[in-house]
Structure 1
Amino acid sequence: MRFRHRAVAGFATLLLPLSALVALASPAQAATSATATYAKTQDWGTGFEGKWTVKNTGTTALSSWTVEWDFPSGTSVTSAWDADVTSSGNHWTGKNKSWNGTLAPGASISFGFNGSGTGAPAGCKLNGGSCDGTSVPGDAAPSAPGTPSASNVTDTSVRLSWSAATDDKGVKNYDVLRDGAKVATVTGTSYTDNGLRKGTDYSYSVQARDTADQTGPVSGSVRVRTTGNTEEPPPTGDKVKLGYFTEWGVYGRNYHVKNLVTSGSAAKITHINYAFGNVVNGQCKLDDAYAATDKAYTADQSVSGTADTWDQPLRGNFNQLRQLKAKYPHIKVLYSFGGWTYSGGFGQAAQNPAAFAKSCKGVVEDPRWADVFDGIDIDWEYPNACGLTCDTSGPAAFKNLSQALRAEFGKDYLVTAAITADGSSGGKIDAADYGGAAQYLNWYNVMTYDYFGAFDKDGPTAPHSPLTSYNGIPQDGFNSAAAISKLKAKGVPASKLLLGIGFYGRGWTGVTQAAPGGAATGPAPGTYEAGIEDYKILKNSCPATGTVAGTAYAHCGGNWWSYDTPATIAGKMSWAKNQGLGGAFFWEFSGDTANGELATAIDSGLR
């Protein structure tokens, strides 16, 4: 996709060069156990970057740490890293992550945050005692229990057991966490969880509590699927109806998983592609940890209506997707890697497909969120062809990569790919063995959009997602019908092809001709990027004035736009059914209206 540029997190723009470091706190006084020291490392007037450093000055290891402080009114934390930071009014708390709580004697750890306002912290406490180390409680928190094992799994229950944690004063009990939320506290090392849903995925972990009521780190998690079919069958028929959810949409677009619920779209789709994981040095990698796993949601922002807590092991988009799946058990979620911006790493991945596949499974099956994902999607733009960068891996590379992914993930995971829709002779579909790779994949998301746009700033104006060819189309083979026909001819079953729909338009400015084929002077203004605009904006700002090749277009003032409407989507879905396609997908949720009218059109059209 030409426009899939990763948005930078809003708080990232606040980071300034290290030359601006200014320490505001004096070093901690001599201590007998541990100290916490604060420094303002950057200051840009209306905001700042702060850092707390915790140091173990004692002779025994610390197994966890919690720093508390007060900010004056008007000063607050806007984002944080390397700690879970929460607040109650003006009182702030920073608690260690699962991986950085243990501090050996003499060791130190730092966590940082971006803040707004000009105030300084006061009233510092470390593990409930003084930050200067004179009264830090010496009682160590318990260790992490063993990862639970599951047995006696039924339609509605599962028995869990785990190895005991250790503590210098003794373990009092264990909190049992289901999908990150506490469901029970028990004194032994086993628990049977009842009242579950049939055919539903759950994730369990445990956390020990000592006699001083200190909690230790959370154990690893085990993924459990109850037996039987889901109690609520999919309401969406037998076709795939898939939407992309963008990781960065939680920033400037202010679009969150809960919007899928409030718009009604969650009830009308079958699958979600979470975009994007990165591909670095030939390996799959989590991209934005803050958005994916750390961002805290309040009760009114969350799918479940429950606020995130500072000590839960998973927050962010992944936890919200977990809650969405609990509410809509028919939805499957795939983790999509690559995209326009991150496809440069696939060439190196193709040199060792098995290692690449293993790394991807490691990310998808991370014990903190293994229950969230039902598969993996690869968006390589483009194998043995040019996208943002040019790939020279050869025509067999994509097939080899697909084969390795299926071998690693096995038959129980979905393995899919978003692919080019260039149906021209000698074009991108001809550059790779999509026919041979299809046997390893559940389906292809054929990106039947972005054929034409203001990346050709002078025009001619043309619909960016034509269903068919038409008299005057600027490029032969640049339409959905040509792409689908070519893929079928290469041996890809129709049932493994999904038709792509864009929930956005592409447009030019300086256009005097209402019909397609007009000259232009450049891209039309857009909210986030020139030449691109969401459907939810265009339907009112520049209503459709005609259709061409199954796609709407609009001429308003000097601007010319093309985009899909509920009416043109209905036509495309009818065509997809007549072609025997497996369904449709769209890029992406946030371009739709608040009541999800485009997702509704896809759902209705494929029934």
Structure 2
Amino acid sequence: MRFRHRAAAGFPTLLLPLAGLVGLASPAQAATSATASYAKTQDWGSGFEGKWTVKNTGTTALSSWTVEWDFPSGTSVTSAWDADVTSSGTHWTAKNKSWNGTLAPGASVTFGFNGSGSGSPTNCKLNGGSCDGGTTEPGDSAPSAPGTPTASGITDTSVKLSWSAATDDKGVKNYDVLRDGAKVATVTTTSYTDTGLTKGTDYSYSVQARDTADQTGPVSGSVRVRTTGGTTEPPPTGDKVKLGYFTEWGVYGRNYHVKNLVTSGTASKITHINYAFGNVKNGQCTVDDTYAAYDKAYTADQSVSGTADTWDQPLRGNFNQLRQLKAKYPHIKVLYSFGGWTYSGGFGQAAQNAAAFAKSCKAVVEDPRWADVFDGIDIDWEYPNACGLTCDTSGPAAFRNLSQALRNEFGPNYLVTAAITADGSSGGKIDAADYGGAAQYLDWYNVMTYDYFGAFDKDGPTAPHSPLTSYPGIPQEGFNSADAIAKLKAKGVPAKKLLLGIGFYGRGWTGVTQSAPGGSATGAAPGTYEAGIEDYKVLKNSCPATGTIAGTAYAHCGGNWWSYDTPATIAGKMSWAKNQGLGGAFFWEFSGDTANGELANAIDSGLK
């Protein structure tokens, strides 16, 4: 995908969740009715995200709270939320907001901050006493993570879970059992049988230990379980893949949310969603915009389920909305896509230690807070051993090695896919990497058969950005879908592992006097978000198609010239894809479609 611009979220980019909780205590007098525990939830080298949890462990309400701690020199808080944070030298103080100071017995509240440096808090005090809530002894740490649960005795409606014990310096009191990130039981043993489940349904389980001071430790790894019985609901759209990209940043300026997939009717027309994009930094997969991904709160009318998010629920944002969508449309599978045009620069480093990269990706995809949301991973490397936004020199084998490492790490039960170049020219980007060798490890390729031509060549000649076939006068031989698919097949990629790409947008020039393709131009046509690019939903009315060439449409209106796909040209492309034996089609991206999803419907209808 060529155009990948993020709107400012109001929050800095954060990285891979680490999930480590550390309870801190000082030798100060004990605060017997409350505890405070600290978690470094994100770490990106030069900075981090930290969160404190204050819990009322007493029998009477707590009217206010103040948490104090020390940071080593060079470590500081740069911004905070849900508390008023101040400092005096290296000593930091956080006081409750007016609306979250009162805590009923058993209730808890969290506040967070972004920090610079690499130090950890010491000398924690809660309301003047120690943070462990029940002892004056210093150094009471939170328990360790229990072992990842194992599942046995799986039936239509139940599963038995077992795990190895956590450790704690004062002793473990009990364990919380989490199903799909939500607590379903608290037990004192290291096993639990969960009942009342739905037959033929996927679940994700993890556990968390609590010590005698009611401090909770980090969440364990998760195990995926599918109950027996039932039938796997076939997609309502036949046996072909119909996949759309959902952009993380679309919830800002574009105001496009997961619920739009429901209101447009698109959710019933697709089989898969690629959530774009996770970042690739320091050789690892990372969450990019954490606010949009899992913190943004939705009101009842904005959410898929019709239920409003609460301030203290464990998962909000796009991930929670996708969870709700999957509950409503069980046939939809969701993949987490990493990279893209903007974030592909990190793949070269990732390829140097492919196994470590794959392990980091699985840690993100299987984070206990959203492990049930994702069914696989998609890698969008633009481009292996070739140039995109930056140039990669990792060699022709790097992409195959990375694909193999991902399959080894994720195993056979996850989808592992890749978006790849559609440059079918001789000696072009398809020839630069071993796509044939990598295909054995991947479920399919999203072949990006668009963005061939556009106003990045400001003088033209005008040409369709997504030609299905070649045509007389095409500016570059091999820059069309048919040549790209033929080349990939020739390299040994099975046709069923190839998806044809459709752009839900057009590319255009201005200063054009010639209606037919091949005219000169003076620059990029005006676009809502970026010059030279416009959504189909706008172009269908502002500059209706005036002709077709090479299986796609073009339009000349005033001095502007645009090319884009319409329901009619998509129908032709889907017929071609079926004749070629392709596995289906995908598109970039949902928000370019009309409010009633006419392009997604054309893909669905065309592949039946």
TM-score (norm 1): 0.77
1:109 aligns with 2:126: no
Shift of 1:487: 1.0
Shift of 1:302: 2.1
CA distance in 1, matches of 2:517, 2:265: 34
Shift of 1:298: 2.4
- The CA deviation string for residues 172-230 of structure 1, in whole angstroms up to 9 with x for no partner, is 99775433445567798765444433332222356789999999886664432222454
Residues 553 and 292 of structure 1: is their aligned pair in 2 closer, same or farther, counting only changes over 3 Å? same
> Higher mean Cα deviation, 329-338 or 596-605?
329-338
> Higher mean Cα deviation, 483-492 or 48-57?
48-57
> Higher mean Cα deviation, 228-237 or 474-483?
228-237
Residues 86 and 217 of structure 1: is their aligned pair in 2 closer, same or farther, counting only changes over 3 Å? farther
Residues 512 and 203 of structure 1: is their aligned pair in 2 closer, same or farther, counting only changes over 3 Å? same
Shift of 1:116: 24
SS at structure 1 position matched to 2:19: helix
- The CA deviation string for residues 223-256 of structure 1, in whole angstroms up to 9 with x for no partner, is 3222245453221211111111111112211212
- The CA deviation string for residues 341-368 of structure 1, in whole angstroms up to 9 with x for no partner, is 1111111222222222222222222232
> Higher mean Cα deviation, 283-292 or 419-428?
283-292
Residues 409 and 23 of structure 1: is their aligned pair in 2 closer, same or farther, counting only changes over 3 Å? closer
Residues 98 and 217 in structure 1, CA contact (< 8 A), matched pair in contact too = no
SS at structure 1 position matched to 2:12: helix
Residues 279 and 345 in structure 1, CA contact (< 8 A), matched pair in contact too = yes
Residues 325 and 70 of structure 1: is their aligned pair in 2 closer, same or farther, counting only changes over 3 Å? farther
Residues 24 and 40 in structure 1, CA contact (< 8 A), matched pair in contact too = no
What residue in structure 2 maps to residue 477 of structure 1? Answer: 478
Q: Can you give the 5+ residue segments of structure 1 that lack an aligned partner in the other structure?
A: none
- The CA deviation string for residues 105-127 of structure 1, in whole angstroms up to 9 with x for no partner, is 99999956799999999999988
Residues 479 and 379 of structure 1: is their aligned pair in 2 closer, same or farther, counting only changes over 3 Å? same
- The CA deviation string for residues 270-306 of structure 1, in whole angstroms up to 9 with x for no partner, is 1111111111122222212211122222222222223
SS at structure 1 position matched to 2:527: coil
CA distance in 1, matches of 2:70, 2:540: 48
Shift of 1:168: 13
SS at structure 2 position matched to 1:22: strand
Shift of 1:39: 21
Residues 12 and 289 in structure 2, CA contact (< 8 A), matched pair in contact too = no
Residues 50 and 235 of structure 1: is their aligned pair in 2 closer, same or farther, counting only changes over 3 Å? closer
Residues 25 and 39 in structure 1, CA contact (< 8 A), matched pair in contact too = no
> Higher mean Cα deviation, 126-135 or 296-305?
126-135
Residues 14 and 290 in structure 2, CA contact (< 8 A), matched pair in contact too = no
Residues 147 and 222 in structure 1, CA contact (< 8 A), matched pair in contact too = yes
1:433 aligns with 2:434: yes
Shift of 1:21: 29
Residues 109 and 153 of structure 1: is their aligned pair in 2 closer, same or farther, counting only changes over 3 Å? closer
CA distance in 2, matches of 1:55, 1:177: 19
Shift of 1:309: 2.7
> Higher mean Cα deviation, 53-62 or 486-495?
53-62
Residues 25 and 124 in structure 2, CA contact (< 8 A), matched pair in contact too = no
Residues 489 and 48 of structure 1: is their aligned pair in 2 closer, same or farther, counting only changes over 3 Å? closer
- The CA deviation string for residues 249-270 of structure 1, in whole angstroms up to 9 with x for no partner, is 1221121222222222121111
Shift of 1:150: 3.5
SS at structure 2 position matched to 1:150: strand
Shift of 1:525: 1.1
CA distance in 2, matches of 1:586, 1:81: 37
Shift of 1:9: 1.8
CA distance in 1, matches of 2:548, 2:373: 40
CA distance in 1, matches of 2:599, 2:55: 54
What residue in structure 2 maps to residue 43 of structure 1? Answer: 43
Q: Can you give the 5+ residue segments of structure 2 that lack an aligned partner in the other structure?
A: none
CA distance in 1, matches of 2:559, 2:525: 9
Shift of 1:499: 0.3
> Higher mean Cα deviation, 447-456 or 293-302?
293-302
Shift of 1:415: 1.4
Shift of 1:380: 0.9
- The CA deviation string for residues 22-52 of structure 1, in whole angstroms up to 9 with x for no partner, is 9999999999999999999999999999999
Residues 177 and 205 in structure 1, CA contact (< 8 A), matched pair in contact too = yes
Residues 75 and 304 of structure 1: is their aligned pair in 2 closer, same or farther, counting only changes over 3 Å? farther
CA distance in 2, matches of 1:376, 1:509: 39
Residues 306 and 523 of structure 1: is their aligned pair in 2 closer, same or farther, counting only changes over 3 Å? same
CA distance in 2, matches of 1:38, 1:16: 17
Residues 294 and 316 in structure 1, CA contact (< 8 A), matched pair in contact too = yes
Residues 40 and 49 in structure 2, CA contact (< 8 A), matched pair in contact too = yes
Shift of 1:169: 13
Shift of 1:549: 0.9
CA distance in 2, matches of 1:480, 1:158: 48
> Higher mean Cα deviation, 40-49 or 58-67?
40-49
Shift of 1:8: 2.8
Residues 13 and 289 in structure 2, CA contact (< 8 A), matched pair in contact too = no
What residue in structure 1 maps to residue 81 of structure 2? Answer: 81
Residues 95 and 310 in structure 1, CA contact (< 8 A), matched pair in contact too = no
What residue in structure 2 maps to residue 602 of structure 1? Answer: 603
- The CA deviation string for residues 289-339 of structure 1, in whole angstroms up to 9 with x for no partner, is 211122222222222223323333222222222222222222221111111
Shift of 1:58: 17
Residues 296 and 317 in structure 2, CA contact (< 8 A), matched pair in contact too = yes
Q: CA RMSD in A?
A: 8.9
Residues 243 and 24 of structure 1: is their aligned pair in 2 closer, same or farther, counting only changes over 3 Å? same
> Higher mean Cα deviation, 1-10 or 539-548?
1-10
Shift of 1:564: 0.8
Residues 63 and 143 in structure 1, CA contact (< 8 A), matched pair in contact too = no
Residues 63 and 103 in structure 2, CA contact (< 8 A), matched pair in contact too = yes
CA distance in 2, matches of 1:73, 1:282: 29
Residues 36 and 54 in structure 2, CA contact (< 8 A), matched pair in contact too = yes
Residues 200 and 230 in structure 1, CA contact (< 8 A), matched pair in contact too = no
> Higher mean Cα deviation, 310-319 or 455-464?
310-319
SS at structure 2 position matched to 1:12: coil
Residues 146 and 165 in structure 2, CA contact (< 8 A), matched pair in contact too = yes
Residues 339 and 460 of structure 1: is their aligned pair in 2 closer, same or farther, counting only changes over 3 Å? same
Shift of 1:590: 1.1
Residues 6 and 341 in structure 1, CA contact (< 8 A), matched pair in contact too = no
What residue in structure 2 maps to residue 62 of structure 1? Answer: 62
CA distance in 2, matches of 1:138, 1:577: 66
Residues 88 and 260 of structure 1: is their aligned pair in 2 closer, same or farther, counting only changes over 3 Å? farther
Residues 25 and 141 in structure 2, CA contact (< 8 A), matched pair in contact too = no
What residue in structure 2 maps to residue 219 of structure 1? Answer: 220
Residues 17 and 364 in structure 2, CA contact (< 8 A), matched pair in contact too = no
